[in-house]
Structure 1
Amino acid sequence: MTSFTVPEVLQARPEVARGAAACMAECGQQVQQQARDTHDTRLDGWEGDAAAAAQHRVDALTNRLGNLGAAAECCGHAGAAFATTLQIARTTISAAVAAARAVGIEVAANGSLCGSLARFLPLVRKSIEGPIRAALTLLAQVDAASAAVVHTVGDVEAPAAGTAQPWTPPSFGPQTRIEQTPDGPVVYSGDLERADQIITIVNGVHSSEPGAAERTAAWAQRLVDHAAANGQTIAVAGWHAYSAPGNLATAALPIAAEEAAPRLREFQNHLRAVNPTAQLHVTGYSYGSVVVGTAAQSPGAPLGADRVTFLGSPGVRAGHRNQLHTQATDGRTEVRSIHVPGDLIGLTTWPDDGAHGRDPSAPTFGAEDTAPRGASWGSYLWHRLRDTHIVAEGDRDTHSSYPYDPEVEEALLQPGR
């Protein structure tokens, strides 16, 4: 906790701090209003997959912008509370110092009284030194509380400027194809044998329905194109080779994940054989994260993965990342968990339990990155509160936005260790 001295408080300008805090709070309110106005703008007259993708992309960006504005407003209010306390402390200490000097006593930087006269006037000493010490202590406590608020709500990602590629419906190149297998289709994009990283995407509910593989192919092609624009060589495999739940009722059951788990392990072993030096990055989206988590439950049959990313997870059975049984080329798998702002899936899982197990974004799970919720309990609870606010404002389809969210793209393409 920061300590303050008498000279620092007397020289402080609380009116400047109050003005800056008010400006930040007002800016935060304006950003939130702009986010709401943009979010309420519908792309009328444009229909189809491309229109839905573009709308999801806009919603994802405006939700993050709204979170940024809310964080700025809260930081402004915290700053205003500190400025008010600083004004009170400054007034109190100024009066006490003036009273001390009136009777020939000086006040030290820490608030204690100096000089021989102070020792012979205990009542005067108590009446002057007490308020000064109390004011310094209160100021330090409010400063610590304000800093905690800023640290908690300030752990928010602003929409990345100029990093994400504009979304356009991709035209499939010769290296993007859909192969039919006895268990379901598998999408391939990029050169598996030459890629530095192979991302396996396991989708969730409705991913066995007609058109699902084509949507994954578009996602895969977009990731490959984005990586190439950044000088990366990747390949993407959209693994649909399991019978995915067709509705929320069956999605509440682990049956599909248990049946799919051994086949996913076999598929990852196949990729390792095709390209032994590539970084294998297994990404489970929605119920797909349940499949990935289940595939990593067997100590005797580990999942081949150098990286594991959970997107919008309804929970995993492992209580901690160390309980995931994986096989990485360097012996340690990197684990990440991402929830986009406003994702309703957060209502199905909590740090201690959930529909399919614990929330991998919770601080206790131990993932290296839990964007955007952060590693602290304060940040985690703040973002869950913001999720509820976004849902209450009417956005109930953010769970579908992951394939189109530029921040998710950046996270998936970020190089591992």
Structure 2
Amino acid sequence: MILINRLRTVLAVTAVIVAPSGGTVLAAPSVPAPVSAAAQPTAPITLRYEANRRSMLAAGIDRPDGDFLLFDPNGRGRVAQVFGDLSTARRIAVLVPGMTNRLANFWRGVGGKSYRSPAVQAADLQRAGAGSGGFAVIAWLGYDTPQGFDEAGRANLARAGAAELERFVAGLVAVRPRATIALLGHSYGSVVIGHAAPRLPPQVTDIAVFGSAGMGVDDVAGLGTGARVWAGQSDQDWVRWVPAARLFGLGHGAKPAGPGFGARVFATADVHDHDHYLSPGTDSLAALARIAGDLP
């Protein structure tokens, strides 16, 4: 009986290691099918990298040379790519993108514009905030983003995304408990962070949002977090004309960059639209790099 139990354990562990993300694991009839290692946020980093690499190759995605904590080709698709050495990072930034992002344009950018690519933005942020080292940035497309203004005006996708973000951050804390974390949300990504804020662990020391139409609350106190809250909005960003209200299920409340919200406002004077906050050479990227990298 002891030998049989040991054999069952070995079979289960082996299946977890080789299982592709989102795949079905075939196990012995008496052994419950284990959950894919790639779907476990508390699994060792290297194991998740390898599991997601296998899944991407199986799906025909030509990006196996990167490091990925998440990959799911189903539906709109989900992916989380790491820039920098997460295994040694003392500071981790998680970039949460906004509407119209999906797996199909994660690398090339919405509308084929590379500056709108979460992967490109995260890479630029990591380079700008590296400082003396020990800094990693994760482009986290771990939720279904709105694909139009009707979805973007409502909070249901943000609430669902917040639950996924909370789970993802908890996994980071489990594998890198001594690292501090910054969350950066662009556009609808800020709404996701706003809904997650009250349940974030103390390792999250900074929240920065930009191009935000609201975070689902009226002020910083409403976020229920001990993290420092930063906000930036260009005067030429179309978001400035979005009403700061919540009515009949539409809207996300006060603008975080507004004077009554209470956030620490950073410079955005040389940003001329909704999408260039993380472009190299801008004051906003420099400011966000300092926040994300916890630099002086």
- Same fold by TM-score greater than 0.5: yes
Q: What's the CA shift string for 1:76-108, capped at 9, x where partnerless?
A: xxxxxxxxxxxxxxxxxxxxxxxxxxxxxxxxx
| Structure 1 position 371 matched with structure 2 position 266 | yes
8 Å contact from structure 1 (residues 352, 359) kept in 2: no
- Do the aligned partners of residues 341 and 335 (structure 1) sit closer, same or farther apart at CA in structure 2, a change above 3 Å counting? same
Report deviation, 1:267: 0.5
Q: How does 1:17-416 map to 2 (within 5 A)?
A: 176-177=67-68, 179-181=70-72, 184-213=78-107, 215-228=117-130, 230-296=131-197, 298=198, 301-302=199-200, 305-326=204-225, 332-350=226-244, 355-367=251-263, 369-372=264-267, 398-404=273-279, 406-414=282-290, 415=294
For residue 224 of structure 1, report the CA deviation from its aligned partner: 2.0
Measured in 2, the distance between the counterparts of 1:359 and 1:322 equals 14
Q: Counterpart in 2 of 1:49?
A: none
CA distance, structure 2, for counterparts of residue 192 and residue 180 of structure 1: 17
Cα deviations across residues 12-31 of structure 1 (Å, max 9, x unaligned)?
A: xxxxxxxxxxxxxxxxxxxx
TM-score of the superposition, structure 2-length normalised? 0.65
- 1:180 CA displacement: 0.7
1:352 is displaced (CA, Å) by 9.5
State the one-letter code of the partner of 1:365. Answer: F
Residues 340-359 of structure 1: per-residue CA shift (max 9 Å, x gap) = 23111011144999821111
> Cα RMSD over matched residues?
3.0
Q: Which has the larger radius of gyration?
A: 1
| Sequence identity percentage | 25
Unpaired segments of 5 or more residues in structure 2? Answer: 1-62, 109-116
The amino acid across from 1:411 in the alignment is A
* Secondary structure of 2:126 counterpart: helix
The CA distance in 2 between the partners of 1:178 and 1:209, in whole Å, is 14
In structure 1, C-alpha distance between the alignment counterparts of 2:97 and 2:107, rounded to whole Å: 10
SS of 2:214's partner is coil
TM-score of the pair, normalised by structure 1: 0.47
Asked if 1 retains the 8 angstrom alpha-carbon contact of 2:244 and 2:255, the reply is: yes
Higher strand share: 2
- Cα offset, 1:233, TM superposition: 2.7
Q: Is the 8 A contact 1:187 1:216 kept in 2?
A: no
Flag structure 1 segments of 5+ consecutive residues without an equivalent: 1-171, 327-331, 374-382
Q: Please report how far the alpha carbon of residue 274 of structure 1 lies from its aligned counterpart in structure 2 after TM superposition.
A: 1.7
* Cα distance in 2 for residues equivalent to 1:192 and 1:221: 14
Looking at structure 2, the residues matched to 235 and 174 of structure 1 have their Cα atoms a distance apart, in angstroms, of 17
Contact 1:184–1:208 under 8 Å retained in 2:
yes
Q: Higher helix proportion, which one?
A: 1
Aligned equivalents of 2:244 and 2:283: distance in 1?
23
